Amino acid sequence: MIKECEVLVVGAGPAGSAAALTSAEGGVSTLLIDRKKEIGTPVQCGEVVGEPLLRHLNFKVPPAAVASVQNYTRFLLDRRIAISNKEPYWRSVSLERKIFDKLLAARAAEAGAQVHADARLVSVEMKDGDVVEAKIMHQGREVTVRPKIIVAADGVHSTLSRLMGVELFTEKAMAKGIEYEMVAHRKLPSAMQIFLEPEVGLGYGWIIPKGPRRANVGLAAIGLTGNRRDRLQEWLSTNPLVMRYFEADHVLEVKTGDAPIPGFLGGPRRGNVLFAGDAAGQTLAFVGEGIMPSYICGQGAGAVAAAAVRFNDVDRLDCYEQAVDDLMGDELAGGGALKDIILDVWTDQNISEGDRTVLCGLLMSEVIFPEQIEEARELLSLSNYKMVQAIKDIVARRKIRATVSALRLR
């Protein structure tokens, strides 16, 4: 069976659905495929977006997809220090991704795109660096498409990338993540909580509320070895701050996912293929937020693809890099640079593991700037009480809306 389309979008996450929507609105025939039988499942992320980014983009999350709203973010550093950053940047919205992703794909369909779940890309035919034909297994039947442009929005383990022989991310350059959606035995604070501590490793843990007594609780780390679920179970049963709210036998769902450590790659183009979303590292790498950045960059990919088809000029795909840069380049590049600095600090063997997590937490929470690292190192020689007082002084001097307290759990 042969199916006609001018733009093929692989992957119906936020990047793919945005690309399909924009491409269809651009007046070209568009096909959006996703290998899952139900778009949006299984969930493979923490399901949280920054509220200021939503406001900046004037993006209205469908009410049915909003699980909860958090007023601030709490950073818990080495079980010694808690920093509650109440600056507007650190407000967040938790989503029901199963609903959110399906609604985004529905918008693409309403704009005129063909949308097929349970449609798996199985092979491609290449000519002079371009994909000239793709075979898709759709609900047990093989379908052939010959698109002019393809948008690869099929995640960090991109099938299209593999079939093309393109390696954007290696397996060793992945942070492995796992989380449980859990029910708490007491009311949760209206905050996303981020844990940096040696027990997690080179990464962080989190509690992301999805209601007064429901949350995603998980961790992600580079070089995570062994069984992910065993690591999470151990952390849940040994971290006193997590145990304050959760018991390991109140699990509603298990969710796993990976994130690329190299981070933002701009707007990668390979022949007539544009890579978007997680497949292109289009995330705010220092916190791992990818939902809205992927959606925005997907819009850019769809617009560029549609223009290339309308003008019958594949070289217009070169505009994709600039489009991504115009849409979110500063934010994504800045997030990647901060991530690199955090990784450098985290792997500094001259600092103890616990102190590294404190220093990285000060960077991630934006209490200190990267250029203040050497000054901040002096804090590490202080007693916990004096360190807390010094951090309070920094917060007051910078007029940050944040509170700092000692945890005394070491």
Instruction: List pLDDT tens digits, range 11-69.
Output: 999 999 999 999 999 999 999 999 999 999 999 899 999 999 898 888 999 999 999 99
User: What percentage of the chain reaches a pLDDT higher than 70?
Assistant: 99
Q: Is the pLDDT of residue 87 over 70?
A: yes
Among 191, 180, 195, smallest CA distance to 239 is for 195
What's the pTM value of the predicted model, to 2 decimals? 0.94
Least confident of 170-179, 288-297, 357-366: 170-179
Mean pLDDT of the chain: 93
Per-residue confidence (pLDDT) for residue 388, from 0 to 100: 95
Judge contact between 1 and 144, C-beta under 8 A: yes
Tens of pLDDT along 359-390?
999 999 999 999 999 989 999 999 999 999 99
Residue 139: CB atoms within 10 A of its CB come to 11
Residue 5 confidence (pLDDT): 95
Q: Which amino acid is at 268?
A: P
pLDDT digits (tens, 9 = 90+) for 223-246: 777 889 999 999 999 999 999 999
Q: HEC profile for 49-93?
A: EEHHHHHHHCCCCCHHHEEEEECEEEEEECCCEEEEECCHHHCEE
Cα separation, 230 vs 237, in Å, equals 11
Q: What CATH topology corresponds to 2-41+98-169+262-337?
A: FAD/NAD(P)-binding domain (3.50.50)
Q: How many C-beta atoms lie closer than 10 Å to residue 163's C-beta? A: 19
Work out the average pLDDT over 379-407: 95
- For residue 206, the model assigns a pLDDT of 97
Measured over the CA atoms of residue 230, residue 45, residue 254 and residue 9, the dihedral's sign is negative
Binning pLDDT at 50, 70 and 90, where does residue 262 land?
A: low
- Given a cut of 90, whether residue 289 has pLDDT beyond it is no
